[in-house]
Amino acid sequence: MNKREQNAGFVCEHCGAQVEPLTNGSYRNHCPFCLYSKHVDVQPGDRRSTCHGLMRPVGLAYKRKKGYQLVHQCLRCGVVRVNKVAVDTVQPDDLAGWVRHATGPAGPRSRVGYGGDRSR
Ligand SMILES: [Zn+2]
Ligand SMILES: [Zn+2]
């Protein structure tokens, strides 16, 4: 497979969007709109996985050297992968939209661990 084929656009299998290839020199491996990916790689970019399950975005990680990274989990085999977010390109990742969707209208779950008033 040559580089031009690898960097071709694709139709997202989750939301059906037509996804354009990245214009910043990297290889697009997830949808910029719903952020779903597909389990096609054993090593990033090698396309040697036989799973081909959809990979759901489950979180954001922040690495000091690499910036924000998306955490994906495969819906078929359960493997977890960390992927670079796509920025400085056509169709950049809609991270703000995903965070809104993932946390709901009430915002992040800041009350996790809140056990009620036990001061009495
Ligand atoms: Zn999508
Ligand atoms: Zn998989």
How far does the centroid of ligand 1 lie from the alpha carbon of residue 13, in Å? 7
Query: Using CB atoms within 10 A of its CB, is residue 13 exposed (0-12), middle (13-18) or buried (19+)?
Result: middle
How far does the centroid of ligand 2 lie from the alpha carbon of residue 81, in Å? 10
pLDDT digits (tens, 9 = 90+) for 15-45: 999 999 999 888 888 999 999 999 998 987 7
| 54-63 vs 37-38, strand pairing mode | antiparallel
How far does the centroid of ligand 2 lie from the alpha carbon of residue 74, in Å? 5
Whole-prediction pTM? 0.76
Distance in angstroms (rounded) separating the CA atoms of residues 41 and 110: 35
Domain boundaries, the chain: 3-102
How far does the centroid of ligand 1 lie from the alpha carbon of residue 113, in Å? 33
